[in-house]
Structure 1
Amino acid sequence: MIKKSHWLLVTILILIALVLAIYFYARADANETAEAQQDYKFITTPCWFDADWTASIRCGELHTPETSGAFRLPVVILKDETTARRNDPIVYLQGGPGAGARLHSDGIKSWLSWMRYAALGRDIILIDTRGTGRSTPALVCAEYNRSNQQLLRQHTSLAEELALGFEVTRACFESASAHNSALDYQHFSTEQSARDIRALVQTLGYAEWNILGVSYGTRLALEIANQEIHQPQTTKLKTMVLDSIYPAGFGGVQTWPKVLDEALHKFFKGCAANHECTNAIGDSNRHIVQLFMDTLTRLRKSPMEFTIRRWDGEAPVAFLLNDHRFLSAAFAATYSPRDWIKIAEAINGVAMHSHDQIKPLLEPFVNQSMSSDFNSLTFTAVDCADNPVMAEAEYLTSVGQYPLLQEYTRDQWRYQACHYLAAQRPLLRHQPQVPTLILAGELDPVTPVDWARSVHAEWKNTQLHISKNTAHSVLSSEACLLQSLVGFYDSPDKVFDGCATKEPEIE
């Protein structure tokens, strides 16, 4: 029989063994994280653009580990030279996924103007994430671009266009990874970009830093904040501002029927209440919803040919406007209430067969789809990495709940690239542990205000500011709100009052 003292000794030894195991496990995990960080390198380089050289600008590249693709990610740091400069910079995370940071001459000039106007008193750090902007290796596919330009001139049904896009996209990813293993789709994800950005601020040597994320950039910000909890490092994330929040679990093909339907109905309601908009339509005897659907029917039967001017100075492009392309252009215009008048004028233009009335809607839509500032293949790879494919029956149930445009949403599930770009580990939504300000536009069609209200109700460490009569990207619409952010970054624990004259909704 073993004495009680022996049992006590055995118990103590077991506890010591457990403590030592936990210690060495944690130390090994920390060492592994540190080693991974050391594989990243920031290399200062000459700046590759023309800009205001009275400004203090530092350029460089973040070199990622070979095990994750050996990417070179361009970085631009706009130094704040005011006497009120704080030492905690702001990393700006743009939308997308797939949007570059516009690290070229025109873009940097715009960033300098934005920085001076915002007066945030901090350095601004900009980066082209994997597959965007000037990052290398570049995820490009000549066949993808050629196919898209050919389609613009042809009258194809939406199903035919989706089917062709499905096959071309798959061939592009297969060709890209065969040419360069770094371009395997598994190297593109929000989780991976979060690791890249955390490594960047660590190598730059700041003690604390902040985030300003817009649209998809908010999802990336939340993943960064989650990694900060589980893999702490010496450079500490201090605060986040999330404009038009797009968290994990929202978005993707599965939400398309709801998002499209609600976006168009916001336009229908807003236009019906605006005399300028209703006058532009030119038909007061029929409801705007019926006029919109009649427009789609006309264009399905009789497409219209256009020559669209390119903003980049390239040769104009031929564009055949049919029903589903009109719907896409109209959806793009719902992002800002200021563009709703263009939809109304285009509806009248189709009825009158007036090209001049339609072009203001089409020109930005076509140019944005061809912009080098956005990479559609990167968008596809990251979106599929983040979002699991839902069951077809579940998707069709969602389609049936929004019948007005179901003809245009029914085939989206079948032809989504995520069938062959399967998510290895779907992105999960986590509550941020740092003070976080959420900005939302009441009229936002693509990241609806309900998303912001939902996560704010769950997350106790957040403030929510809802702007009336504003849609997507609140800060691009409310200049005074942008200038108010310095108060939040300086004192994140205080209630954010925003623009006092706008009477915003603060929760």
Structure 2
Amino acid sequence: MQTVIFSLIIGIFIFSGCGSDNTTPQISKTYYTTECSNFDINRTDLECGVLEVPNDYFNPTSTFTLPIVIKRAKKEAIKSPVIYEVGGPTEKGALISLSLIDWLSSNFSTFDDRDLIFYNRRGEQYSSSHLSCSSVDESEFKENLKELLGENNTISSINQEQFETSIKSSYTDALIGCKNFLQSKGLFKKDFTTRNSAHDIESLRKSLGYEKINLLGVSYGSRLSLEYLELYPENLESVVLDGVLPENSDFMQHSVTQYKEAIERFFKVCERDSKCNGAYPNLKDEFLFVMNHLHNKPFFYTFNGDKYNIDGRSLAVKVYENLYSRSNYSSIPYMIHRLYNEILYDNYTFLESLATTYTEEGDEDLIYNFIHYQDYPINLNTLLAKKDTLGEFTNSYSIYNIMTHKELYEVYGGGKFVQYPYKNNVPVLIITGTLDPVTPYFYAENIDARLQNSTNIVLKNYGHGNFTSNCGKLALERFWESKNEFTPPDCINDENPIDFFVAEE
């Protein structure tokens, strides 16, 4: 999943089409093989195909095609396949994960007699419904924003009044331009929902002739897997949810405070670790100092003719993003401490080296906005109230982001909070990390409490998406082979201490 940042301008406004009185989805059974080169894949060990699905399962007016990649079982496929559900949703989709296909098929003996299936969802690359508004003219909005920012300002310094009076109209024009462009291509908001994508999974199952399937859902992929679990439990052998996103979470509104919560959880780990606390006893205070300094006096840097900048929010965003993967954890305290010293002594060598990667960039994945603004309601007053609770972390989240949240949700028409009963006995394995910044451990506790046959594995000092970790791999392999008789491996009790980096004096 991704943070909603500056170029939410690329998010769009699309009419909702009329509904239908039909109550039974018109599941597709149309699949045909194709050359993998059509998806820029140069592999002879993979089977590639196209799944044709209706744009709307209850009132179809056209069809979309979805790209499918299958790693066939090494032997006879006598067991039900595993379908991988990627996070995001992202513009690139799952087909860029060829290395993950290889890793899964080579690390799990279960794929000796199981097919492994990857595919890109509606709206993603290589689908006929690929969402892109690159041809829409956004020059007026960009010019208005540039004028408002000036030479010494950044996004985090824009206030609500400035957004409303200076850039809202041009921002809205950009959204409407994108809406008109996509509508002319026959792409409507109503067609890009988690519910339709769940029906796509059922179309895939039926088209390929599988009696039952297994789902491996990571991040947003877990949200989609839960949707399928609610709709088609009888067709599931098992489900794995890694970094789980429940359907009833406060996901979009939670984004305002999750920076603070995630970073503070990490600081607590450092505080309890003798090595980290010994080297960085004032880590939180140093972080707040650096963030507030960069908020009040953003750092601008020019390298090879390109201009870069870091302000308080962009620093917080990048520290937050580094919390996704445990592999980054050891160096975060050192990075903060060094930035603190550079600002104190007015020597910005390290900050210059970070500037080219820490400058905020746009999120161009339209499908992310399509899905999440329909799945998760937001309210401006709630967002503003959440920002008021940030306290000393106030400069980690800008009013600009709150206002773009509001605009995008309003133009999409939004959804309502739902909570599914999950009245089935499908075996479900949940994997979460105590330091997951985007789908925190209490999301996993939420869904575990509501499922009938689930096991929640919590890995200490791990972040987001952990089935590839040593313990996650062991748990996953055991689960796929035993399911209803599954017992977690002993490694779930490991403390997994972080080996924090401390520079030699």
- TM-score range normalised by the length of the shorter chain: 0.7 to 0.9
* Aligned residue pair count: 447
Q: Which amino acid is the alignment partner of residue 315 of structure 2?
A: F
- 2:45 aligned with 1:60: no
1:218, 1:243 within 8 Å by CA — same for their partners in 2? Answer: yes
User: Which segment is superposed worse, 340-349 or 57-66?
Assistant: 340-349
1:384, 1:421 within 8 Å by CA — same for their partners in 2? Answer: yes
- 2:387 aligned with 1:399: yes
Which of 101, 109, 116 is the matching residue for 1:119?
109
User: Which segment is superposed worse, 442-451 or 315-324?
Assistant: 315-324
User: Which segment is superposed worse, 114-123 or 322-331?
Assistant: 114-123
2:133, 2:181 within 8 Å by CA — same for their partners in 1? Answer: no
C-alpha distance in 2, partners of 1:148/1:123?
47
C-alpha distance in 1, partners of 2:205/2:305?
42
- 2:451 aligned with 1:459: yes
User: Which segment is superposed worse, 321-330 or 488-497?
Assistant: 488-497
2:245, 2:439 within 8 Å by CA — same for their partners in 1? Answer: yes
| Cα pair distance change 1:359/1:493, threshold 3 Å | farther
Residue by residue over 1:372-403, the C-alpha shift from the partner in whole angstroms, topping out at 9 and shown as x without a partner, is xx75321111111101223x444444334442
| Cα pair distance change 1:342/1:70, threshold 3 Å | farther
| Cα pair distance change 1:448/1:129, threshold 3 Å | same
2:120, 2:127 within 8 Å by CA — same for their partners in 1? Answer: yes
C-alpha distance in 1, partners of 2:36/2:159?
41
- 2:200 aligned with 1:205: no
Which of 39, 51, 74 is the matching residue for 2:67?
74
User: Which segment is superposed worse, 346-355 or 43-52?
Assistant: 346-355
1:304, 1:321 within 8 Å by CA — same for their partners in 2? Answer: yes
Which is higher, the Rg of structure 1 or of structure 2? 1
C-alpha distance in 1, partners of 2:104/2:295?
42
Q: Which amino acid is the alignment partner of residue 449 of structure 2?
A: A
2:295, 2:395 within 8 Å by CA — same for their partners in 1? Answer: no
Structure-1 residue corresponding to 2:88: 96
Structure-1 residue corresponding to 2:294: 299
Structure-2 residue corresponding to 1:471: 463
C-alpha distance in 2, partners of 1:89/1:301?
54
Shift of 1:112: 1.3
Structure-2 residue corresponding to 1:23: none
Q: Which amino acid is the alignment partner of residue 158 of structure 1?
A: S
1:144, 1:168 within 8 Å by CA — same for their partners in 2? Answer: no
Which of 31, 34, 37 is the matching residue for 1:42?
31
Structure-2 residue corresponding to 1:131: 123
Structure-1 residue corresponding to 2:195: 191
Which of 423, 435, 451 is the matching residue for 1:443?
435
1:295, 1:351 within 8 Å by CA — same for their partners in 2? Answer: no
**Structure 2 residue matching 1:474: 3-state secondary structure:** coil
C-alpha distance in 1, partners of 2:182/2:286?
50
- 2:375 aligned with 1:386: yes
C-alpha distance in 2, partners of 1:483/1:205?
30
Structure-2 residue corresponding to 1:221: 225
- 2:411 aligned with 1:420: yes
Q: CA RMSD in A?
A: 3.5
Matches within 5 A, 1:226-305: 226-228=230-232, 236-274=235-273, 277=276, 284=281, 287-305=282-300
C-alpha distance in 2, partners of 1:169/1:198?
38
**Structure 2 residue matching 1:91: 3-state secondary structure:** strand
Matches within 5 A, 1:310-325: 318-325=307-314
Structure 2 residue runs without a partner (length 5+): 1-20, 496-505
- 2:321 aligned with 1:332: yes
| Cα pair distance change 1:213/1:288, threshold 3 Å | same
C-alpha distance in 2, partners of 1:47/1:113?
19
C-alpha distance in 1, partners of 2:439/2:168?
25
**Structure 1 residue matching 2:420: 3-state secondary structure:** coil
**Structure 1 residue matching 2:403: 3-state secondary structure:** coil
Which structure has more RCO (C-alpha within 8 Å, separation ≥ 6)?
2
C-alpha distance in 2, partners of 1:79/1:148?
48
**Structure 2 residue matching 1:183: 3-state secondary structure:** coil
Q: Which amino acid is the alignment partner of residue 324 of structure 2?
A: Y
| Cα pair distance change 1:192/1:29, threshold 3 Å | closer
Shift of 1:96: 1.1
C-alpha distance in 2, partners of 1:422/1:463?
36
2:156, 2:295 within 8 Å by CA — same for their partners in 1? Answer: no
C-alpha distance in 2, partners of 1:246/1:316?
42
Q: Which amino acid is the alignment partner of residue 129 of structure 2?
A: P
| Cα pair distance change 1:60/1:272, threshold 3 Å | same
Structure-2 residue corresponding to 1:175: 177
Residue by residue over 1:318-366, the C-alpha shift from the partner in whole angstroms, topping out at 9 and shown as x without a partner, is 4211111111111111223432344334322354166663477666666
C-alpha distance in 2, partners of 1:165/1:119?
56
2:218, 2:244 within 8 Å by CA — same for their partners in 1? Answer: yes
Shift of 1:125: 0.9
Shift of 1:252: 2.9
Structure-2 residue corresponding to 1:16: none
1:296, 1:324 within 8 Å by CA — same for their partners in 2? Answer: yes
C-alpha distance in 1, partners of 2:69/2:138?
28
